[in-house]
Structures are given as C-alpha cells and as structure tokens.
Amino acid sequence: MTIHLLRMAARVESVAKLKQLQAERLIQSAAENKSELYTYTRNIPKRMDELIDDGSIYWVIKKYIKVRQRILGIERHTNEEGRAYCAIQIDPELKQVVARRQKAFQGWRYLKPEDIPTDLHPSHSKVTNLPSALADELRELGLI
C-alpha cells in the first residue's frame, strides 16, 4: 500500500520560494557532479517500501498543504558525528494540490492515501488573480 509523507517547509513563505531553494540546491549538486535532489531528515521512515511505491512528500507552506513531490528513493547515511540520518530523493517537479489547512507539527508525518489533497488541475486556476492566501481561505470554506 502506498503511503505519503507530510512535511513542514520551514522558513518557506511560498511555493515559488520552495522552487527557488530547490533549484539552487540542484545547481549546487551539479557542481559536485550529481543531478539528484534530496531532502534530509533525522528520523528514518520505517515504512520505506511503502513510500518508494509511488509515494510523495506533501509540503506544508504557511499552514497549508500546497504542493507535492514524488519520492524517488530513500537512503540511510551517517554524519561525521556518527548519527544516522535519512536522505529522501525527490522529483524536482513540484505538483500543486488543492490547498488544505494543516496544524503545525515537528519533523514529518505519514499521510494515508485517503487523507491526501487532490492535485490542482487547470480547471481550478480560475482564481489565479486572487492572492493565494485568500484563494486558500475560500477553498477551505468550500466557496471555490
């Protein structure tokens, strides 16, 4: 069964900022002759096989789940101090989802398939001229 991760995008104010930070990270990786994009976490998921089986990371930005990225692989590493950590390889393509409010938490959480927000399709883009915070609030109220 496929499961997903829910993760806070710390110090990220918008989807555009997340995209910019990840683009910079990819440029850094290219300078080191690598082409993969990773996100890192202290805790290693115990359900790795289910995450790699078409799972995604759903990013919480400013109290809303707004975007997701497919998980391509998970690697275990050890830092210089001997502590284990997890490197999660993610697809650089950001897929926007219908925003849904999310309470704050630390680290990451598993997200069951029945709890995931749907992908944002072009038909949802009729509110592109609204500020994103207002559009998110209207979606939460079921008005758009």
**What is the tens place of the pLDDT at every residue in 95-115?**
999 888 999 999 899 998 888
Calpha distance 105→98 (Å, rounded): 20
Count of structural domains within the chain: 1
Size (the chain), residues:
144
Q: Give me the mean pLDDT over the 7-11 stretch.
A: 93
- Domain span including residue 55: 4-140
pTM summary value: 0.83
Please count the CA atoms within 13 angstroms of the CA of 107 that sit on its side-chain side: 10
Eight-class DSSP state of 18: H
